[in-house]
């Protein structure tokens, strides 16, 4: 079986988002599953697998060598994206990190401010922070999806630089404008789960006599989405 068929759904979203013939960079590559799968499938011309840790990078290098792809995938031990600029990657995946960490990586890499570069992002936390950064810095979200993988729902998105900033409502920042427009069954399931979590947060804040205005605004938005109403608030 091909490696691309063995990827988890969240990594498969990333793989499917990479354009044919791309110079692909996988930041925080861990075991280099994505680069190996894409090279094996003939989807990319060259790949860079980077990780901040020497041990994950060594494991990645061993797996790449075992597959016979050492001439097609370069392994780097480095922090962030900036050291990858010399390879001029066209498609960049940053998966499995917190949104705040992803923002820090993007902010330190000026070369991604190029319409030819595609960002493939899968934040684990701080979704609003990431989307608000993309909006303020002129990166348009060109695709996004809620993906169910190994019993957990993940937010996955693709973005590209346009240079035109825009604003998002709190709900759009958290859930994604395209997700709200498409309202897939899995997205609605995700909203119901988020509603349950935020309801508990509101209850806790009320017990502590703390301000829950933001949470209440989100709850109103969740309810409007689940009721099928137009939601941009």
Residue 158: count other Cβ atoms within 10 Å of its Cβ.
Answer: 22
pLDDT over 70, % of the chain:
98
pLDDT mean across residues, the chain: 95
Which pTM value belongs to this model? 0.94
Cβ contacts of residue 134 below 8 Å, gap of 6+? 140, 141, 159
Residue 210: strand pairing partners: none
pLDDT per residue as tens digits for the range 197-228:
999 999 999 999 999 998 999 999 999 999 98
pLDDT value at 230 more than 70: no
CATH superfamily to which 3-167 belongs: Vaccinia Virus protein VP39 (3.40.50.150)
pLDDT per residue as tens digits for the range 78-101:
999 999 999 999 999 999 999 999
| Angle CA 87–88–94, to nearest 5 | 90
| Phi, psi (deg, nearest 5) at residue 140 | -85, 135
Cβ contacts of residue 51 below 8 Å, gap of 6+? 28, 29, 30, 57, 60, 75, 76, 77
User: What is the rounded distance in angstroms from the CA atom of residue 207 to the CA atom of residue 227?
Assistant: 28
| Angle CA 3–121–23, to nearest 5 | 60
Residue 231 banded pLDDT, cuts 50, 70, 90: low
| Angle CA 130–208–189, to nearest 5 | 45
Predicted pLDDT of residue 233: 46
| Phi, psi (deg, nearest 5) at residue 165 | -75, 160
């Amino acid at each position: 079986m091909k490696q691309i068929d063995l990827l988890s759904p969240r990594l498969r979203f990333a793989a499917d988002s990479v354009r044919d013939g791309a110079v692909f960079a996988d930041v925080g590559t861990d075991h280099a599953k994505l680069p190996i799968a894409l090279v094996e499938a003939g989807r990319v011309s060259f790949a860079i697998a980077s990780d901040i840790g020497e041990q994950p990078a060594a494991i990645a290098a061993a797996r790449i060598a075992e597959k016979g792809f050492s001439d097609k995938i370069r392994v780097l031990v480095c922090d962030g994206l900036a050291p990858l600029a010399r390879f001029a990657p066209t498609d960049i995946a940053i998966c499995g990190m917190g949104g705040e960490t992803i923002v820090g990586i993007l902010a330190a890499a000026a070369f991604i401010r190029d319409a030819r570069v595609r960002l493939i992002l899968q934040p684990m936390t701080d979704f609003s922070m990431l989307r608000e950064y993309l909006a303020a810095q002129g990166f348009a979200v060109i695709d996004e999806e809620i993906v169910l993988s190994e019993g957990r729902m993940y937010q996955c998105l693709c973005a590209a630089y346009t240079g035109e900033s825009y604003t998002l409502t709190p709900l759009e920042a958290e859930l994604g404008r395209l997700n709200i427009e498409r309202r897939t069954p899995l997205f609605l399931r995700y909203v119901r789960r988020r509603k349950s979590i935020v309801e508990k947060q509101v209850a806790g804040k009320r017990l502590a006599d703390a301000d829950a205005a933001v949470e209440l605004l989100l709850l109103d938005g969740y309810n409007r989405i689940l009721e099928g109403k137009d939601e941009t608030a």
